[in-house]
Amino acid sequence: MNIVIIGTGYVGLVTGVGLASLGNKVTFIDLDEEKISNLNNKKLTFYEPGLDKYFEEDETFTNMEFVSSYSDIDWKDKEIVFICVQTPNNIETNSVDTKFLESAITEVSSVQNENLVITIKSTIPPYEIEKICNQVGLDMDSLTFNPEFLREGTAVEDFFKPDRIVIGGNDSSKVQKLKDLYSNFEAEIITTDPISSQLIKYLANTYLPMRLSFVNEAARLVKSSGGNLDDVLKGVGMDSRIGQHYFRPSPAWGGSCFPKDVVEVNNFYNSEEVNLPLIANIIESNKIQTKWTANMLKSIHNEKKLNGIVLVGAAFKEDTDDLRNSPTIDIYNELLAENMSTMIYDDLIKSEEYLSIEDFEKLEGAHLIALMYPVKEDLLSKINNIVSNTNSFLYTPWQL
């Protein structure tokens, strides 16, 4: 099929490269000219395991074009446009910032091609889309929704083998077109109305951080009760109704999606009419965890009379260079505010602000080396060497 992808971020680029590798013709548009120039020069703009292999393949690359201006797109023969722009949280209003979507929808609303299937992949409540449609004079019922569930770090695998494909829409021929696009995927396709499609996305992104917060609260409880964290979590997770998967304590959770989606899910309802205390307190639980981790690091550091703290892993989780809402940065700032000598090391992100591996390996004196998430074998063996050479102390949130 002939496809347009609006936004070449994590979702847009992975989806478009995946679709191109399956034989579709894909035009990418991004207003960020530097990103488009890099992509045209076969340079990826972020790290995502396995993406380079597909992106650089000649057959895939010839199926793709990259433009930075809407006027460069020949819309006549296009069949589906996926809108994949960012939907961050607007801190002032504590609700989703729709300006990127507004601008993308405004552009596609003037396209003269009534068969074009306009599909929203960005995470956005339908009531916000309705407002934008009313502003630009677009019929909301003509839109389709195809929320995205990929996880940074395993996004390529998630594209080819999703757990499910969700399509929301009221126009059956447009919904069918999307089903045709995905017909060779093994995953079950759930077709539903626009609101349900977005609630599936928002509630999944509410349950997951809630589960992470539960494990973190369990870890704090075990720690204060003097139990053994490994044994307790193993024993709890062995209940088949609970499971061990996604059940690992962390310094706190973060990323470009969970924090803003949990904020937004609390805007779906009127809290004077509906009382959802669990959902309403997930963010608060995570804030407490961030402070708790910083305090824990500070007390270990002081108790053991160490020379400073090194946080290992700057991004919000392993296998990504995405720094958006990274708990490491929050913990780093908390520790600096307490005048603790603190540094960050990351093996994917090179920055003058972080320790280089050479400086890390030359560390002088005993430090508290805190893993923010599991690291690869070779880095772990380097860290173990540093620990034994300097009498440092290794901290991991999952082995308190």
Ligand X SMILES: NC(=O)c1ccc[n+]([C@@H]2O[C@H](COP(=O)([O-])OP(=O)(O)OC[C@H]3O[C@@H](n4cnc5c(N)ncnc54)[C@H](O)[C@@H]3O)[C@@H](O)[C@H]2O)c1
- Residue whose beta carbon is closest to ligand X: 9
CB of residue 197 to ligand X, shortest distance in Å:
13
> How wide is the angle at C-alpha 64 spanned by C-alphas 77 and 68, nearest 5°?
85
Pair 19, 60: CB distance under 8 Å: no
355 DSSP assignment = B
Which residue is associated with the tokens 């979702």?
11
Which strand (E) or helix (H) includes residue 71? none
Task: Find the shortest distance in angstroms from Cβ 264 to ligand X.
Answer: 9
The CA-based dihedral angle spanning residues 323, 328, 332, 338, taken in that order and rounded to the nearest 10 degrees = 140
Buried b / exposed e over 242-266, threshold 16 CB at 10 Å, is: eeeeebbbbbbbbbbbbbbbbbbbb
For ligand X, give the closer residue by CB, 9 or 209: 9
In terms of CB distance, is 7 or 308 closer to ligand X? 7
Nearer to ligand X, 9 or 313 (CB): 9
The nearer residue to ligand X, 10 or 332, going by C-beta atoms, is: 10
The site for ligand X (CB under 6 A) is made up of: 6-12, 29-32, 35, 84-87, 100, 103-104, 122-123, 148, 150, 152, 256-257
- The span from the CA of 338 to the CA of 352, in Å, is 23
Strands 95-96 and 89-90: antiparallel
- The full length of the chain comes to 400
CB of 96 to ligand X, least distance (A): 8
Q: How far apart (Å, rounded) are the C-alpha atoms in residues 266 and 271?
A: 8
Shortest distance in whole angstroms from residue 13 CB to ligand X: 8
DSSP string across 241-252 = TT-STT----S-
Q: Minimum distance from CB of 183 to ligand X (Å)?
A: 22
Complex with ligand X: residue 32 or 74, whichever CB lies closer:
32
Catalytic machinery residues: 257
